[in-house]
Amino acid sequence: MEIYKHEKSRAWFDRATKVIPSGVYGHLGPAEGNFIPVTQWPLLGDKAQGAYFWDVDGNKYIDYMCAYGPNVLGYNDPDVDKAALAQAKIGNCTTSPSYKMVELAELMVDTVKSADWAFFAKNGGDVTTAAIMCARAHTHKKKIVFVSGFYHGVAPWTQKVDYPGVLPEDVANNLYIPWNDTAALERVIAENDDIAAFISTPYMHGNYLDNVLPAEGYWQKVRELCTANGIVLIVDDVRCGFRLSLAGSDAHYGFEADLICFCKAIANGWNVSCLCGKEEFKGAMSALSYTGSYWMSAIPFAAGIANINKMRKLNLPAILLEKALKVTGGLKAAAANNGFDLVVSGEPALFYLRVANDDSLFLHQEWVAEMVSRGIFITGHHNHFLCYALSDEDINLTMEVADEAFKAVAKRHPEIF
């Protein structure tokens, strides 16, 4: 198979570093994205369609990151884009918000089991911050309980005291407990009488470690403890939302959140996020001074309505699960056929991969780089995403490339076998 080259990508990146801090920043950048070796990765893209994107060198990729989640139906889905572009002809950012905001809020409330209301913003971090502020306003308490290994955005309250730009007082009210440890939650509650909220993702899908599902009865016990102690239970469903259940990942695991945060899969890439909540928190949310210049733009609302309705019609979570089991089963088989132990963890529709033949991530990263170099875009340290547009042909090609990539790594490492 052809090994991709990235000369134009590198030239664009060099231009970017002159005018943009880090060139490409955050998790899409080569450093934080763990692009090792960087010469084997695309740094700038050109176009996308369905389950694919093309970089500036013209290399085509089957995309198992889906823009890190927003692409849930397929890039440029015709039904979603038709609704968005029709709204663009009418109006987008206007002095009075479009009635489309009301329609999308009604649809979110009708779709998400635990939702009595919906509040819109733009990024996942906007609504996790809104949830924390709402919980503090409702309870008049200040401390927040986190699960160690969490990621809830990049606001100062989500970071660590030794991170650049973060002050000790930004995180002074943060408490940390292990995942799946309700006894630790009980101890923290007993030791602190001013806890406003407990916030967690539906399962542990952190980076650089195998993902871990909730233990039997875990969420039901968390719900019981929060209710008994007046603690607001916040679910960060930004990453998992609508991929496990259209009713919300809390419904998928058999409990109800007080506040639940959505973003990535709402509108198939059109930028909108949403905080949903129970009726009793509506007053506290209304009291917040919290908004943004583009939070009520109408185009993403129209896209979100079309996207959610299409996901409902398709019963999309069931389709994604079926596709995911084909992908993960095929990858494990390709690994085993070449003498590798590929660990698959987390929920299938958001699978996490780790080559476990050594105690570091380097062997795994070698395999990932070989996959990317042959047109299969996966990553070395993050869970993956699937979209509806991914075909059986795409999956079959992925398995062919995986086999070749494993062979390339094995050839360089005869000492392992």
pLDDT tens digits along 343-386: 999 999 999 999 999 888 889 999 999 999 999 999 999 999 99
7-75+316-416 under CATH 3.90.1150.10, yes or no:
yes
pLDDT tens digits along 278-303: 999 999 999 999 999 999 999 999 99
pLDDT tens digits along 63-93: 999 999 999 999 999 999 999 999 999 999 9
> The tokens of 352 are what?
């996490």
Rounded-to-integer distance, Cα 88 and Cα 302, Å: 9
Which uninterrupted H or E stretch holds 175?
strand 174-177
Tell me the average pLDDT across 199-214.
96
Task: Assess whether pLDDT exceeds 80 at residue 416.
Answer: no
58 — alpha (psi -120 to 50), left (phi > 0) or beta? left
pLDDT score for 257? 98
CATH class, 78-314 region: alpha beta
Work out the angle at residue 357's Cα, subtended by the Cα atoms of residues 353 and 363, and round it to the nearest 5 degrees.
Answer: 70
Produce one character per residue of 166-197: b if its CB has 16 or more CB atoms within 10 Å, e if not: beeebbebbbebebbebebbeebbeeeeebbb
Rounded-to-integer distance, Cα 68 and Cα 264, Å: 8
pLDDT score for 277? 98
Helix, strand and coil content of the chain, in percent to the nearest 5, comes to: 45, 15, 40
Q: At what angle do helices 298-314 and 100-111 cross, to 10 degrees?
A: 30
Whether 261 contacts 155, CB under 8 Å:
no
Task: Assess whether pLDDT exceeds 80 at residue 417.
Answer: no
Report helix, strand or coil for 81: helix
Share of the chain above pLDDT 90, in %: 93
Query: 97: pLDDT confidence band, cut at 50, 70 and 90?
Result: very high
Rounded-to-integer distance, Cα 393 and Cα 414, Å: 32
**The whole model's pTM is what?**
0.97
162 Cβ contact list (under 8 Å, min separation 6): none
pLDDT tens digits along 156-206: 999 999 999 999 999 999 999 999 999 999 999 999 999 999 999 999 999
pLDDT score for 26? 87
Evaluate the CA torsion angle 307, 308, 312, 313 in order and state its sign: negative
pLDDT tens digits along 221-232: 999 999 999 999
Report helix, strand or coil for 116: coil
End-to-end CA distance of the chain: 24
Closest to 212 in 3D by CA, of 255, 180, 175: 180
Tell me the average pLDDT across 260-272.
98
Share of the chain above pLDDT 70, in %: 100
Mean pLDDT rounded to a whole number for the chain: 97
Phi and psi for 382 in degrees, rounded to 5?
A: -130, 155
Closest to 39 in 3D by CA, of 9, 1, 65, 2: 9
Domain parsing of the chain, residue ranges: 7-75+316-416, 78-314
